[in-house]
Structure 1
């Protein structure tokens, strides 16, 4: 998934969070925020990295960009979007371009379209200049926090990973972890991202710690088995009896290896594959 599409997905999954972050007191949210279709009137145009959020009396138009180069040029596109949106909805429109990655291009500083006596302005946010504090405080914005302003990128990445690991809803935690790791690729090497999230994911979460504390008193082997089964149940739901039986037959070293491996499992199919290659002979 391209980086700007990750941001579009986040904005459409968590529209209220983005509205509050970008508009603040101006938002005045009293009704649910509606995600509008990206097709506009006249000649249909559609942009993968564009999100339109409709409030009661305003539309928030978000444009996520990895680089400023585009055809037609971005300033003209912002004017074109504004005209089409206003023709269709006749309300106030706030347009914000969010650049994800710094470059040497002067186009990063452009915040308007100008031609003869036509002048159109929009806002530009360069994420690497943004204070990470409000992003770290909102789970929905954590994936963006890895790109925010910092004197120590590695420390910021660890902070974000720690925050993601504390999300109690396992489904939300897995999704936001994936989005965060994808966007972190704009700033960090793949090995660094994997190392930080492998060491943090699940192990510092409230649920994992609770399960671990309950199981550690049950004896080392039985406790390890209990922890694994409980974590699998929390992540994937009911574990089929045949898989439970295979886990019951594992030795302590195998259980410890499975305890490490399951942090990387995305589905029960990964567990099945692992067990097939680690069965006791």
Structure 2
């Protein structure tokens, strides 16, 4: 999962928790709205719309403050579109995930000659970790909150994840925490504290293997492996792609498991070397 998709998954999986966090409203009746709006479509990868009985909560997750068009203009654009479609109160929050010194993360309004539009900004690295550590829905975000000892914080997150009773929920929350922690921590540290066997039992990982088996065709498995490798290590060289295409379906399944530990192209080369031993 990418950072954007991870944040969207959490907000749409636990909408009441996000409404409680950002609006201080206790409700269990929250509807996740579609992100396609009227007029020309605009990029909505990191956007979530949650509708309560009285308002809409628009959440925008950002890893960096730079965008084209600017985030402030996008927030105005979304506001107008939502207002036209739903005609209700709208609360907008931009959540910055990765710490930066850019002044843009302090911008909370769009201003023009005849227009001013404001919204709320949350910089996760300024937030106290306690509220995030006590709520499984927000626990992955705790990895990015304020701490004098980030490594200790990461250990606290791992401990809290281990206390989640539901196995399925525990694996999925761990998967999300693993992704978001990558914005701040060294991957080797993450792997040490977030036990990889938990990741391998997650619904996300199992779906990857199930997809390949259900398709039943080697070509589908090849396509899946190449997509996953591109996400983990970047573009796969043509020579490496040719080697992958010679693998059997069981070998491709082994590679699908192994690539979860890859961080650069050298890991793929080392995996092939081990296969030849």
> What TM-score, normalized by structure 1, do the two folds share?
0.69
For 1:78 and 1:158, locate their aligned partners in 2 and report how far apart those are by CA, in whole Å. Answer: 36
Look up the match of 1:226: none
Look up the match of 1:2: 2
TM superposition shift of 1:8: 1.1
For 1:102 and 1:79, locate their aligned partners in 2 and report how far apart those are by CA, in whole Å. Answer: 24
Secondary structure, in 3 states, of the residue corresponding to 2:53? coil
For residues 243-268 of structure 1, the C-alpha deviation after alignment (integer angstroms, 9 at most, x for no partner) is: xxxxxxxxxxxxxxxxxxxxxxxxxx
Secondary structure, in 3 states, of the residue corresponding to 1:124? strand
Look up the match of 2:128: 131
Cα pair 1:162 1:200 within 8 Å, conserved: no
Secondary structure, in 3 states, of the residue corresponding to 1:146? helix
TM superposition shift of 1:144: 0.3
Q: 5 Å matches for 1:50-199?
A: 50-198=47-195
For residues 144-200 of structure 1, the C-alpha deviation after alignment (integer angstroms, 9 at most, x for no partner) is: 001001101011100010010111111111111011011001111010001112299
For residues 43-79 of structure 1, the C-alpha deviation after alignment (integer angstroms, 9 at most, x for no partner) is: 2334110000000110000000000111111100000
Q: How many pairs align?
A: 205
For the aligned residue pairs, the C-alpha RMSD in angstroms reads 2.2
For 1:185 and 1:156, locate their aligned partners in 2 and report how far apart those are by CA, in whole Å. Answer: 14
Residue ranges of structure 1 left out of the alignment (5+ in a row): 203-230, 237-268, 275-281
Cα pair 1:164 1:201 within 8 Å, conserved: no
For 1:118 and 1:199, locate their aligned partners in 2 and report how far apart those are by CA, in whole Å. Answer: 51
> What TM-score, normalized by structure 2, do the two folds share?
0.70
Q: 5 Å matches for 1:233-248?
A: none
For 1:88 and 1:42, locate their aligned partners in 2 and report how far apart those are by CA, in whole Å. Answer: 11
Cα pair 1:165 1:201 within 8 Å, conserved: no
TM superposition shift of 1:41: 1.1
Q: Which has the greater radius of gyration? A: 1
Secondary structure, in 3 states, of the residue corresponding to 1:71? coil
Look up the match of 2:269: none
Instruction: Provide closer, same or farther for how the CA distance between residues 133 and 120 of structure 1 changes in structure 2, counting only shifts above 3 A.
Output: same
Residue ranges of structure 2 left out of the alignment (5+ in a row): 207-252, 259-277
For 1:102 and 1:199, locate their aligned partners in 2 and report how far apart those are by CA, in whole Å. Answer: 26
Secondary structure, in 3 states, of the residue corresponding to 2:161? helix
Look up the match of 2:23: 23
For residues 187-234 of structure 1, the C-alpha deviation after alignment (integer angstroms, 9 at most, x for no partner) is: 1101000111229969xxxxxxxxxxxxxxxxxxxxxxxxxxxx9xxx
Look up the match of 1:265: none
